[in-house]
């Protein structure tokens, strides 16, 4: 039986997707960045979807060698289970060959991806926070029970981001090697909110490509507004049904702060000595691997 919290969130999510779908229908199919003249691509980085609030193209970021990340080959997103029929049609235009799903088995079972049929997208499941003996599993269980008050969102997300390095480097090694194997063919990676697991994956990808750290952080922080905007109605319902303290906790868990990503990179420096050593020892990349990755994903 569904918990009251999950039921109210499901209803509000449906209403949010419905209103977004109506708005998109009025505007027509969104333009993909790669379809636009170069000067207009940055403004279209976020791909407007009724059922996905945080889908973005990672193209256009400048590498230290003067080249830029190619548009239309690297995408990041939140959950894909609420895609509307129109979203699915837009999604098909991405030309994806690989989709990497960082969600846990529980998340995937509750919310399976909705993908276009017949487009040959290879789905690779690389679950992060999937076992039943970690603090994230305990957090999910508390949220299911509605035992929200007393959770410290900043502490939860700080620990989660540290564990992305200390526990889940093998998972990100798998992701990076899927990216290498794609050979520059379009690839999308995602989790549920598209901000923590996906945010770290985007950050290490851009860093491997030589993008400046300030640009990496700016991309990471784009999720802050998008994540909260997508859950406005959920938060309003929680505030009405559970009270302001509960809504404040959920708002915090949906948040994105620079300190969270900085915690992950600090863990890299502490445990590996440098990002270069992390790329070599943690991600299993040689210098030649990185050169080939850049040749496939950078242009100019």
Count of positions (residues) in the chain: 300
Q: Residue 108, Cβ neighbours under 10 Å: how many?
A: 18
Q: Where are the beta strands (DSSP E) in 37-134?
A: 56-57, 68-69, 74-77, 98-101, 122-125
Tokens of 44: 């279209």
As a whole number of angstroms, the distance between CA 180 and CA 168 comes to: 19
As a whole number of angstroms, the distance between CA 172 and CA 205 comes to: 10
Of 17, 55, 94, 191, the active-site residue reads 191
Question: Which among 165, 135, 194 is positioned nearest to 266, based on CA atoms?
Answer: 165
As a whole number of angstroms, the distance between CA 245 and CA 146 comes to: 12
Answer whether 75's CB lies under 8 Å from 297's CB. no
Burial of 67 (0-12, 13-18, 19+ CB in 10 A): middle
Known active-site residue 191? yes
**Would you please indicate which residues are annotated as catalytic (active-site) residues?**
191
């Amino acid at each position: 039986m569904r918990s009251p919290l999950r039921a109210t969130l499901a209803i509000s999510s449906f209403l949010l997707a419905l209103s977004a779908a109506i708005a998109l229908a009025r505007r027509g199919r969104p333009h993909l960045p790669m379809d636009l003249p170069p000067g207009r691509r940055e403004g279209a980085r976020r791909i407007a979807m009724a059922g996905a609030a945080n889908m973005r193209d990672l193209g256009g970021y400048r590498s230290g060698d003067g080249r830029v990340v190619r548009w239309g080959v690297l995408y990041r997103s939140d959950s894909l289970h609420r895609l509307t029929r129109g979203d699915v049609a837009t999604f098909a235009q991405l030309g994806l060959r690989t989709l990497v799903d960082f969600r846990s088995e529980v998340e995937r079972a509750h919310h399976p991806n909705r993908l276009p049929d017949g487009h040959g997208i290879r789905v690779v499941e690389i679950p992060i926070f999937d076992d039943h003996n970690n603090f994230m599993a305990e957090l999910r269980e508390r949220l299911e029970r509605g035992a929200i008050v007393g959770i410290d969102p900043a502490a939860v997300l700080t620990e989660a981001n540290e564990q992305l390095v200390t526990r889940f480097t093998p998972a990100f090694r798998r992701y990076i090697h899927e990216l290498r194997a794609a050979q520059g063919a379009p690839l999308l990676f995602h989790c549920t909110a598209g901000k923590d697991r996906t945010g770290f994956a985007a950050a290490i990808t851009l860093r491997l490509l030589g993008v400046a750290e300030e640009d990496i952080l700016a991309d990471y922080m784009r999720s802050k507004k998008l994540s909260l905007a997508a859950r406005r109605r959920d938060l309003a319902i929680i505030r009405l049904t559970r009270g302001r303290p509960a809504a404040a906790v959920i708002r915090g868990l949906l948040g994105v702060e620079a300190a969270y990503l900085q915690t992950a990179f600090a863990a890299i420096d502490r445990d590996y000595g440098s990002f270069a050593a992390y790329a070599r020892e943690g991600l299993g990349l040689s210098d030649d691997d990185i050169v080939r990755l850049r040749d496939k994903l950078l242009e100019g």
